[in-house]
Each structure stands twice: as C-alpha cells, then as structure tokens.
Structure 1
Amino acid sequence: MAKRFEPDTELDGITRRFRPVLMAYLFRRLRNHAEAEDLTQEVFVRLAAQERLEMQAPEGYIFQIATNLLRDRSRRNRVRSEFRDDLSRMEGRAVDPLDPLRIAGDREALGIIRRAIAELPERTRHIFILARLENVERRTLAESYGISISTIDRELARALASLTSLMHGDGEQ
C-alpha cells in the first residue's frame, strides 16, 4: 500500500532517515564533501517542492532524484570542459571566436570576394565555382565544356589572379 507523503509533517523524518545514506552515496561518486552536501540538499529541496506524493518506496524516489542530479552535473561538467578545451585550442591561435571586429572584417572580405567572383567572365566564373566551391574534377569540367584540361587550368589561374589582385587591393580604383 502506498504511503501518503505530507511534505510539512514527514519531510523532517525522511530527511533524518535518508540524509546520512544519501550523503555517503553522493560522496562515493563525487569524492567532494561540499558537492555531495549541495546535491543532498538539492534532493530534499526537490522532494519538498512536491505538494503531495504517493510513494511506494521513498528511498527509490530519493535515489532516483540523486542519480538524475549526478547525471545533470556530469553533463554540465562535460560541456564546460569541452568549451574550455575549445578555448584553449583557440588561445594558441590568438583568435577570439566572438570578436565583433573580426566578424565584421570577415564579412567585408566575403563581400569583396563575392563581388570579385561576380565580375569574372561568365565561363571563368562558372569553372571557378564548380572547381573550387563544388569540387567538380577538372577532367569532368573539361568534358562538360568541350575544352582541354589545360584550358580549365588557365581559366582557374585567371580567376585566382583576379581574386588575389582584388583581395590585395591591386584591382581597386
């Protein structure tokens, strides 16, 4: 038969009964007394937040809450660790991924490249886009356009020279 749990009257009794064993359970997993204490407190806070609860086995419910809190803590720690690792890898490159000036500069550079590609002669533009952006093989392009691979290479060289010139400011007026 399920026992009706009255938070105001029985929470103290349940806390006294399960707190020591719950602390031991959490300490064995965390190896940190303060964290075990915090999670133990959180278990009882969540239990107290229940208005009325029918429990067949209060210990099962209590340990399920504790296990869920451990999983949440583990996920948070993993995300934080991955973020720190990503930041430390970026620090070596001296790159701030959210630097607004860098983002604005990159957008400006993309705009210049986009305009430069648009200004290429049509066939050169198509060959460049297919070869460099879509990774279509030069042989396939040559067959598709009915030209030699060396002509494809010349078109690509012309496109790259034009883009390089614009990127370095040589082509600005």
Structure 2
Amino acid sequence: MPHSYCDSNLLAVLVSCYEDLKTFLTRKYGCRSLAEEVVQETWLRVRQLSQPIVVDHPRAYLFKMAANLAIDHLRSEKVRKRYISEDSQADEFPKDTPLPDRVLDYKQRLAVLRQAVDELPPRCREVFLLHKFEEYSHAEIAERLDISRNMVEKHIIRGLAHCRNRLRQAMP
C-alpha cells in the first residue's frame, strides 16, 4: 500500500472553508447531496496526496478541484443513466403512458359518461357542457342562456348526479 502524504496546509484550508465550498457547489449544481459528496471526495483526495504540493492560492485550488470532481461525477452519472434507460426501454412503457388495462378502463368510463350526458334534458345538458367542458362560470352561463344563477347551479348538480349514478351502475 502506498504511503499517503497529507498536505496539512491544504487540509486546514479545506476544513476552514468546508461550508463555503458546500454552499458554492450546491448553488452551482443545484444539488445539496452532490455538493456534500464532492466535498468529501475533495477531502479524501487531499488526504491521499502522495507528494507535497505548493499552492499559491489554496482556497481557489480547492474550489477548482471540487468543481472538477463535481463535473466528473455528473458526467459519469449521465452516462450511467443513459445505459440504464437504453437497457430498460425495451421492457417498460414510458413513465407517462398508462398501462393497457387502464386505457381500456378509461375508454369504458368515457363511453358511459358520453351516454349519460346524452341522456340529460337539453337545457341541463347545455348548461352542464358549458360549465364542465367550455369552463364558463355560473354567471356567464346564466347571462348567455338568460336563466338565473340558481337554475344554472341546479342544472349542474343534476348533470353531475346523473353522470355519477350512471358510472356507479356501469362500473361497480
């Protein structure tokens, strides 16, 4: 095992600027855990120096060393993620794609809802569709159809109740 030489000057500077270095890396790369890991790795590298080194600006040297280590870490993580995603793509659906059985369930529910809306009386259906699908407010619907806000609310409640009941009957 090679003899390790600890450059006590660099190590002392590292200990004194530990929190500043962690804050710098967290801000630069947006990840506190990465910053902590890189500061630890920097400490290990300084501890394992095999030769004493002369550094004019030890703090700047340590910040540059840590930034380079962070870049190395991010590059290796990017490569690792690329290989993992290439291997798993053939076996998995994309994360935002629902499973086929869920798609079938959604299609069945949609068909039931369409039928339920079609069964509503004409004025109730019109109010319901304006509110739920056109996103009109109660006041806008009342003005547009020349009915009271109270009547708008009654139609919406009736439409919701009818759709809910049809869904319950069709999908126990």
- Scaled by the length of structure 1, the TM-score of the pair is 0.44
